[in-house]
Structure 1
């Protein structure tokens, strides 16, 4: 059975999703990046050049060339002209528009255009978007690109279970190592979902989790998603299942 990375030929990382405000990068980032090619880093920071971003990544131990960094300027240029100009001193003037009361770094990012430019850079026929925000996943889905959502404290399981179909990722991971692991299909029988020893059920409108091995933690997230997303009732009580999974993942 193939791993996630075996199925794709280009890897598009939401840059902010790889970085942690306190520790620099999230766990297993450098090892993951070193084993994937071609790769692109998508930055929503309109105030920094590709060269500056690449330099910062190098300082964090991530081997990145500025040509692998896609900024809002590149996305804006592609949106306006359909072509990305050669790098020049004024290349980064074309940032996302913002008002005087809204700093550039807080201006809304154009994730679909960032993704399209990243695909152009990598020349991937089967690209995969990898990030930690639901907004990034939703943008990938909107332009029909498969995605991986890496769960974290801000993109938590509770939000994921309750999200609408047009916001859902293709894959769910608990850390970047899951990209290199097999992805067994979640088996379903009535209100019973099972994968790698993890079981989720829906009983009288309540989602329940029966834990499996800690080594297959991502399977627990996957069975919960399968159960919650297939529930047809008006309301689903997910609190106890989410609390149990969160305690096991800590």
Structure 2
């Protein structure tokens, strides 16, 4: 069974909130089906929003990037951690306060637009340090940030994504750079603005008014956990960072409502499944082996097998889950899901 009523998933929501990297695009190219999915939502008159932890582009730049890919977007529909961080600092600091910026030019622009003064050196006595992803960030910038925080500056991180997706595989994200300062300072940031904090999704949800919002993401540790913190249902798509093995080992706070291979799951009931399912459903049966792993037997859709595996894994397992096939059809399903015996 794909969804509770067997209807299209999207019909239950008035707003769809998309993550970007790994969901809509990968670096600079749209993911297969993304352009068509957003266009279909628009044609049906459904509201969309984009929430991204990427602090290297302004909302207007993200909207232009999406539009250039054929994905309709306006700056008002784009929620970035850079803009949210600048807004938070503007609420806490007097106008014109110095803020040491570690990150891309887009973050500096957001800080400036918020009425604050971006600086590069701890010698300028910044009231705060704001840290976001930037390809150029190196030791010198991190050293200045370390000195400023030790001198009493508030430390704000736009996000703590450990990695970001690329066509060559996961690359170090802002969370990895934050970890450098965390090690040097032996403390955590004072504030983390982006996902999995609820702020971005809560802002998007308010735009839905009395309707329901669905979060679509590719990362359990940011998109899905952030949706849960905001009290929203979520769809995990397997086009980005998190895979099925990570899903089976996910703690309660990182478990999505639905899973699909890609954005087709929004419209095709056969392409999405609610998780967890039942241990015996959809032609499949999942049991716990003597060694504490899982065995899948039977035959049916691979997504139904996934729902059954989630049911047992989430009820009994801790950490990584070993899954083995108990039938030829199960071998095919596990291969389709990216799992091996």
TM-score (norm 2): 0.59
Q: Could you tell me which residue of structure 2 aligns to residue 75 of structure 1?
A: 84
Contact 1:193-1:226 at 8 Å conserved across structures = no
Gapped regions of structure 1 (runs ≥ 5)? none
Residue 80 of structure 1 and its aligned partner are, at CA, apart by 6.4
Q: Report if the CA contact (8 A) 1:74-1:117 is conserved.
A: no
Q: Distance in 2 between matches of 1:170 and 1:130?
A: 10
> Rg bigger for which structure?
2
Provide structure 2 residue ranges, at least 5 long, that are not aligned to the other structure: 93-109, 119-128, 133-140, 146-156, 159-172, 179-191
Give the Cα separation in 2 of the matches to 1:94 and 1:13. Answer: 31
Kindly indicate whether the alpha-carbon contact (under 8 Å) linking 2:235 and 2:259 is maintained by their aligned counterparts in 1: yes
In the superposition, the TM-score normalised over structure 1's length comes to 0.78
- Measured on the aligned residues, the alpha-carbon RMSD in Å equals 3.6
Conservation of the 8 A alpha-carbon contact between 2:238 and 2:261:
yes
Question: 1:39 and 2:123 equivalent?
Answer: no
In the comparison of the two structures, how many residue pairs are matched? 239
Which residue of structure 2 aligns with residue 227 of structure 1? 312
Q: Retained in 1: the 8 A contact 2:56–2:82?
A: no
Alpha-carbon distance between aligned partners in 2 of 1:162 and 1:227, rounded to the nearest angstrom: 11
Tell me, in whole angstroms, the C-alpha distance in 2 between the residues paired with 1:229 and 1:122.
31
Change (3 A) 1:93 1:246: farther
The structure-2 alpha-carbon separation of the partners of 1:52 and 1:143, relative to structure 1 and needing over 3 Å to count, comes to: same
1:248 aligns with 2:311: no
Q: Kindly state the Cα deviation for residue 187 of structure 1 after the two structures are TM-superposed.
A: 6.2
Deviation at 1:119, TM superposition (A): 1.9
Residue 10 of structure 2 is aligned to residue 5 of structure 1: yes
Q: Which moved more, 1:48-57 or 1:236-245?
A: 236-245
**Mapping for residues 182-201 of structure 1, pairs under 5 Å:** 182=269, 188=278, 192-195=279-282, 197-201=283-287
